[in-house]
């Protein structure tokens, strides 16, 4: 089965590469030291420290493989100046019903980088899907668990 393309901003791509390098150069060594210390205790059949370290090592290797696959299959998002919302765009929106709360700014990113606390929303999220391809002044309906929320696009930044 072909791996799914992963949409990343340049910053997100660099963070993934940095994390893989950290896991390989620091965490692998830490776990190897734990294993060595556990082996020194003897009798591996009843050595819970050894079992824990082996489990952590397996988890770490799985995480490294997953991150490396994302890096291999990544498409870097480069938003240019555009009058329509696209991947990588920063979009200033206003909740039509609660306009007094003021505008909110979101950046459209791939699901790997999505972090609502930082204003990064996935293109696969209901809001992300509603915003893609829209222009300034458009009002979009977002189908959320709480019902339909209307947002007006105030500004699009490249």
CATH 3.10.50.30 residue ranges in the chain? 79-157
More confident: 119 or 82: 119
The packing angle between helices 48-72 and 28-40, to 10°, is 160
pLDDT at 2: 56
| pLDDT greater than 90 at residue 86 | no
Of all residues in the chain, the percent with pLDDT exceeding 70 is: 96
Please say whether the beta carbons of 95 and 81 come within 8 A: no
CATH of the domain spanning 79-157: 3.10.50.30
Based on its alpha-carbon atoms, the radius of gyration of the chain, rounded to whole angstroms, reads 22
CATH of the domain spanning 6-76: 1.10.287.180
pLDDT digits (tens, 9 = 90+) for 31-56: 999 999 888 877 777 778 888 999 99
pLDDT tier for residue 64 given thresholds of 50, 70 and 90: very high
Report which of 57, 76, 72, 106 is spatially closest to residue 9, judged by C-alpha positions. 76
Reduce the DSSP state of residue 84 to 3 states and report it.
strand
pLDDT tier for residue 81 given thresholds of 50, 70 and 90: low
Convert 124-148 to b/e letters by CB count within 10 Å (16 or more is b).
ebbbbbbbbebeeeeebebeeeeee
CATH 1.10.287.180 residue ranges in the chain? 6-76
| pLDDT greater than 50 at residue 1 | no
| pLDDT greater than 90 at residue 158 | no
Q: Tell me the C-alpha distance between 53 and 145, whole Å.
A: 42
Q: Tell me the C-alpha distance between 60 and 107, whole Å.
A: 30
Reduce the DSSP state of residue 31 to 3 states and report it.
helix
């Amino acid at each position: 089965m072909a791996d799914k393309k992963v949409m990343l901003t340049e910053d997100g791509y660099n963070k993934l590469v940095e994390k893989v390098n950290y896991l390989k150069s620091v965490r692998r060594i830490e776990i190897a030291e734990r294993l060595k210390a556990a082996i020194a205790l003897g009798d591996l059949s009843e050595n819970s420290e050894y079992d824990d370290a082996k489990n952590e090592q397996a988890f770490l290797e799985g995480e490294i493989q997953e991150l490396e696959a994302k890096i291999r299959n990544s498409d870097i998002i480069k938003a240019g100046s555009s009058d329509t919302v696209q991947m990588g765009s920063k979009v200033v929106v206003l909740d039509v019903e609660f306009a007094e709360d003021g505008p909110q700014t979101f950046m459209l990113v791939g699901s790997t980088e999505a972090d609502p606390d930082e204003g990064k929303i996935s293109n696969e999220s209901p809001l992300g899907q509603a915003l893609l391809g829209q222009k300034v002044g458009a009002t979009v309906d977002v189908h959320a668990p709480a019902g339909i929320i209307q947002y007006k696009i105030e500004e699009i930044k490249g």
